Amino acid sequence: MLTISTTVLISVLSGTLVFVISQWFLEIILKPKILMNEKRAKISELMLRYHSEYQNGILTPEQIELIRNANSELLSSAWKCCFRQKKKSKYLILAKEINCIISNQGSKPNGIEIQNAIKTIENIDKNVKITFQYFNDKKKK
């Protein structure tokens, strides 16, 4: 009969346990975070690409559809990935503000609504960039 020493058994079990814990950590913690970063990057990329179009009110229906799809993907990913209600509501507000921007695009009387939406998005999530900004590197004296 084959006998297995205690140290070999402990080594195999501890190695298996480490593998299971690392896979759990990867699936539960890291993959959702990576997914959220990808969705935020996608919405940022689209909003920056079509910045002049939504500022001037010349977004095509295809561009609006692309932005809305990326926006809903970000929102659905937040619902899947975020455990806390506060974080989910943060992304709900972000999605609402992006919809506000593309629905009010180019309208001069509502330009203040777009600026308020941009400020709200900047306050909610620093990683979602939707407008170009010029930063002056000179220090004020």
The token duo for 125 is: 């999530």
Taking only the tens place, the pLDDT of each residue in 16-32 is 999 999 999 998 888 98
Provide the 8-state DSSP code for 29: I
Q: What is the pLDDT of residues 45-103, one digit of tens each?
A: 998 888 888 877 788 889 999 999 999 998 888 888 877 888 888 888 999 988 888 88
Q: Whole-prediction pTM value?
A: 0.72
For 102-123, the pLDDT digits (tens) are 887 766 655 677 788 888 888 8
Give the Cα separation of 33 and 98 in Å (integer). 21
Q: How many residues does the chain have?
A: 141
